[in-house]
Amino acid sequence: MYADLREYLHLLEIKGKLHKIEVEVDKDWEIAAVCRNLFRKIPANDRPALMFQRVKGFAAPVVAGALGASRQVYALALGTEPEDILDKWVTAQDRLIEPTLLSTGPCQENRRMCDAVDLTALPVPIWTVEHDPGPFITSPYVCTKDPQTHVQNVGTYRVQVKGRNKAGLMAGRKQDGMVNIAKWEAMHQPAPIAIAIGSDPVIGAVSVSKIPYGVAEFSMAGGLRGAPVELVKCLTVPLEVPATAEIVIEGTISPGVRAKEGPFGEYTGYMGSWGNHTEIDVTCITHRNNYIYQAFISQMPPSESSLIRGIGREVPLFKHLKYDLGLPVKDLCYTESGGSGAILIISIAKQYPGQARQIASAAWGRINSLGKYTIVVDDDIDIHNSFAVQWALSFRVQPDRDIHIAGQMSALGLDPSVAPADVPQHDPSRLIGSRVFIDGTRKHDYPPLAVPPEEHMDFVKQNWGSYGF
Ligand SMILES: Cc1cc2nc3c(=O)[nH]c(=O)nc-3n(C[C@H](O)[C@H](O)[C@H](O)COP(=O)(O)O)c2cc1C
Ligand SMILES: [Mn+2]
């Protein structure tokens, strides 16, 4: 359990998982290129978080990859080992801990109101140079609330810096935050919004995860850290934010107003189209003394975004299928090659014919839009090994019998195969697409595997040296 981002970064450093960059960097092109090279040049398990100590023209350092540079880093954020991430999450989902409210906290050490509000004073990088129209905040913990139940939601939806006190917010219409904003709009009232940046990393982990609407992410974060998240009241809006956040941006969203947002280099690996989206009128910015700016690395997968979103989707889905519905699911994953959304692979101990399709349907029912390719295999297949999955597809599937296309389903909004690039992001044609379910399980008795008997294999393994190896 970490008090704040600083304590966590200190631990990363001790563990050799924080790489500090001393040379001065330009946030408007150089940070993005260093982050991309981190993913290109360093093997998946070795990638450290990055801390850019000197950012040209800014006093604050920029941290990137601090939640998901690698599974090793993510495990440290949760205070666990890489192989125990799933268990840690499953347990936390059953043991929510309500946040506590403090009267004041370090996130409000410095307060900028009215004319002193200036988003452009934050060192927000430009991510896809030559295509993005400007800087985007990629690790906002966007707090909104349901005007009726007052339950607060926290979600990560990118924020485009448009001026000193104007920002674009692109929350997909099925996202919990957008559902909340729409409820305020239906009452013709401005929606209050608060954006926290940088905190105990478990808050980032829950902010990008698909937990059910109405379950408060801060309570889930409490479950993950084993202690309540400490909150403080915002200064200008009726919302609460983590007391130790590095930066808090408060504001309102005017009902019915939409303005051009984007384009933005997306997690699919392509540029996403511009669209008409909500706009934030910033009322106040507070920050800690010597604040640190934190960003998530996204764009072309694999990325920090694909890693943290993947886990944040797999875990609630696994819990739902296995524990809520009692289905015989052994393992599941959204592959990072599919941006942790397009390709879903599930392994099961099938109990009766047709069960693979039932489980795929249950997965589609739990999480909207994801799983354009949903593949269900038997539990002898290691779904994290693409060779094994392709072997199952090769010899356990008859395409006319086992591949089913479902049309007119909710699509991945940012999938560039749904509509041409000049169709804006808000266009309804981007909402509908099709999916494939592939039953990769055995449908009848299978011949024996063509491998030597176990005892022969063991004998040779034990005497391996005698064969001259
Ligand atoms: C780096 C990063 C950026 C993201 N940007 C957006 C975004 O701009 N819009 C969006 O709707 N979802 C975005 N997401 C996905 C949401 O954070 C995710 O779906 C989360 O579950 C939303 O919270 P909610 O379920 O409470 O709505 C992003 C995720 C990550 C990791
Ligand atoms: Mn939510």
**What CATH number corresponds to the domain at position 96?**
2.30.110.10
Instruction: Note the pLDDT tens digit of each residue in 262-303.
Output: 999 999 999 999 999 999 999 999 999 999 999 999 999 999
Q: Are 293 and 62 in contact (CB under 8 A)?
A: yes
Whose CA is closest to 60, among 2, 135, 124?
124
Strand positions, DSSP E, 28-148:
49-52, 62-64, 100-102, 110-113, 136-137, 141-145
Q: Whose CA is nearest to atom 31 of ligand 1?
A: 305
State the CATH number of the domain containing residue 349: 3.40.1670.10
* Cα 77 to Cα 201, 308, 341, 411, distances in angstroms: 6, 11, 23, 32
Whose CA is closest to 277, among 172, 374, 199?
172
Same domain membership, residue 228 and residue 342: no
Q: Are 434 and 408 in contact (CB under 8 A)?
A: yes
Q: Whose CA is nearest to atom 4 of ligand 1?
A: 157
Same domain membership, residue 215 and residue 124: yes
Same domain membership, residue 241 and residue 165: yes
Structural domain including 202 reads 5-295
- Per residue of the chain (469 residues), what is the pLDDT tens digit? 999 999 999 999 999 999 999 999 999 999 999 999 999 999 999 999 999 999 999 999 999 999 999 999 999 999 999 999 999 999 998 899 999 999 999 999 999 999 999 999 999 999 999 999 999 999 999 999 999 999 999 999 999 999 999 999 999 988 999 999 999 999 999 999 999 999 999 999 999 999 999 999 999 999 999 999 999 999 999 999 999 999 999 999 999 999 999 999 999 999 999 999 999 999 999 999 999 999 999 999 999 999 999 999 999 999 999 999 999 999 999 999 999 999 999 999 999 999 999 999 999 999 989 999 999 999 999 999 999 999 999 999 999 999 999 999 999 989 999 999 999 999 999 999 999 999 999 999 999 999 999 999 999 999 999 999 9
Is residue 130 assigned to a domain?
yes
3-state helix, strand, coil in the chain (%, to 5): 30, 25, 45
Same domain membership, residue 332 and residue 282: no
Same domain membership, residue 113 and residue 221: yes
Cα(217) to centroid(ligand 2), Å: 6
The pLDDT of residue 413: 87
- Cα separation, 303 vs 339, whole angstroms: 9
Same domain membership, residue 339 and residue 291: no
Q: Which-ligand-closest: CA of 413? A: 1
Same domain membership, residue 214 and residue 331: no
In ligand 1, which atom is closest to the CA atom of 312? 21
Tell how strand 343-348 and strand 373-378 pair up: parallel
Amino acid at 302: P
Q: Which-ligand-closest: CA of 305? A: 1
**DSSP code for 142:** E
* Cα 124 to Cα 113, 137, 198, distances in angstroms: 20, 6, 13
In ligand 1, which atom is closest to the CA atom of 154? 26
Is residue 303 assigned to a domain?
no
Question: CA angle at residue 155 from 154 to 157, to 5 degrees?
Answer: 145
Cα(425) to centroid(ligand 2), Å: 22
Q: Give the contacts of 390 (CB within 8 A, at least 6 positions apart).
A: none
Same domain membership, residue 336 and residue 286: no
Same domain membership, residue 389 and residue 266: no
* Cα 93 to Cα 120, 307, 431, distances in angstroms: 38, 20, 30
Instruction: Note the pLDDT tens digit of each residue in 331-388.
Output: 999 999 999 999 999 999 999 999 999 999 999 999 989 999 999 999 999 999 999 9
Number of domains comprising the chain: 2
Is residue 180 assigned to a domain?
yes
Is residue 304 assigned to a domain?
no
Q: Using a 6 Å CB cutoff, which residues line ligand 1?
A: 138, 153, 155-158, 170-172, 175-177, 208-210, 296, 298, 305, 308-309
Q: Terminus-to-terminus CA distance in the chain, angstroms?
A: 47
DSSP codes joined into one string, 307-369: HHHHHHHHHHHHIIIIIIS---EEEEEE-GGGTTTSEEEEEE---STTHHHHHHHHHHHHSSS
Is residue 386 assigned to a domain?
yes
Is residue 461 assigned to a domain?
no
Same domain membership, residue 330 and residue 288: no
- Cα separation, 299 vs 294, whole angstroms: 16
Is residue 307 assigned to a domain?
no
Q: Are 201 and 2 in contact (CB under 8 A)?
A: yes
> How distant is the alpha carbon of residue 395 from its chain centre?
34
- Cα separation, 304 vs 68, whole angstroms: 5
**Ligand 1, from 208, 211, 369: best to mutate by most atoms within 8 Å of Cβ?**
208
Provide the 10 A C-beta neighbour count for residue 268. 20
Strand positions, DSSP E, 361-453:
373-378, 403-410, 432-440
**Ligand 1, from 173, 175, 313: best to mutate by most atoms within 8 Å of Cβ?**
175
Is residue 73 assigned to a domain?
yes
Whose CA is closest to 353, among 446, 444, 448, 447?
444
Same domain membership, residue 348 and residue 251: no
Sign of the CA dihedral running 177, 414, 389, 364: positive
**DSSP code for 256:** T
Same domain membership, residue 22 and residue 60: yes
